[in-house]
A and B are shown apart, each in its own frame.
Chain A
Amino acid sequence: MPDLEGWIETCAVDDIDEEDVIRFDYGDRTFALYRTEDSEYYATDGYCTHEKFHLADGLVMGNTIECPKHNGRFDYTTGEAKRAPVCVRLQTYPVKIQAGKLFVKIG
Chain B
Amino acid sequence: MSTDTNKRDYRLTGPESKIALEKGLVAAEWYISLVPRKRLKELMKRRNGPAIRDTILWFCALAGTGFLACWTWGTWWAIPAFALYGIVYSSPADSRWHECGHGTAFKTPWMNEVVYQIASFMSLRPATPWRWSHTRHHTDTIIVGRDPEIVAPRPPVWRIILMDFFRLYGGPKDIRRMIMHCFGKLDEEEREYIPRSEFSKACWESRVYVLLFIGIISWCIVTKSFLPAMLIGLPSFYGAFLVLVFGMTQHLGLNEDVLDHRLNTRTIYMNPIFRFLYWNMNYHIEHHMFPMIPYHALPALHEEMKDDCPPPCRSLWSAIKEVVTALVRQGKDPTYTIERTLPATARPYGFGNDDKTTGGVTYAGS
Contact = CB atoms under 8 A, between A and B. Distances in A.
Contact of A68 (B132, B139, B198, B290): B290
Interface stretch (B11-19, B83-91, B101-109, B274-282): B101-109
Given A58-B292, A59-B44, A69 B138 contact: yes
A40 interface: no
Contact of A85 (B104, B132, B292): B132
B119 to A, nearest CB: 16
A59 B198 contact: no
Contacts, number: 39
Nearest to B45: A59
Contacts of B103: 66, 71, 73, 83
A67 B321 CA distance: 36
A84 B44 CA distance: 19
Interface string B254-270: 00000000000000000
Contacts of A83: 103, 109
B314 interface: no
Nearest to A61: B46
**Which size bracket describes the interface of A in this complex?**
10 to 19
B198 A84 contact: yes
Nearest to B38: A17
Given A69-B291, A85-B131, A51 B102 contact: no
Contacts of A61: 46
A47 to B, nearest CB: 12
Contacts of A20: 41
Contacts of A84: 131-132, 135, 198
A68 B27 contact: no
Contacts of B198: 84
Contact of A70 (B109, B138, B197): B138
B27 A52 contact: yes
B195 interface: yes
Name the prevailing secondary structure of the A interface residues. Answer: loop
A20 B131 CA distance: 27
A69 B139 CA distance: 8
B135 A87 contact: no
Contacts of A66: 103, 292
Interface string B191-205: 000010110000000
Interface string B102-118: 11100001000000000
B139 A51 contact: yes
A59 B297 CA distance: 15
Contact of B291 (A70, A73, A87): A70
A87 B197 CA distance: 9
B131 A71 contact: no
Interface in A65-88: 66, 68-71, 73, 83-85, 87
Interface string A2-39: 00000000000000000010000000000000000000
Contacts of A51: 27, 139
Interface in B123-162: 131-132, 135, 138-139
21 contacts: A51-B27, A58-B292, A59-B41, A59-B292, A61-B46, A66-B292, A68-B290, A68-B291, A68-B292, A69-B138, A69-B139, A70-B135, A70-B139, A71-B102, A71-B103, A73-B103, A84-B135, A84-B198, A85-B131, A85-B132, A85-B135
In the complex, the 6 A-B pairs of residues with the closest C-beta atoms, listed nearest first: A59-B44, A85-B135, A71-B103, A71-B102, A70-B135, A51-B27
Given A70-B291, A87-B197, 14 more contacts: A20-B41, A58-B292, A59-B41, A59-B292, A66-B292, A68-B291, A70-B102, A71-B102, A71-B103, A71-B292, A84-B131, A84-B135, A85-B131, A85-B132
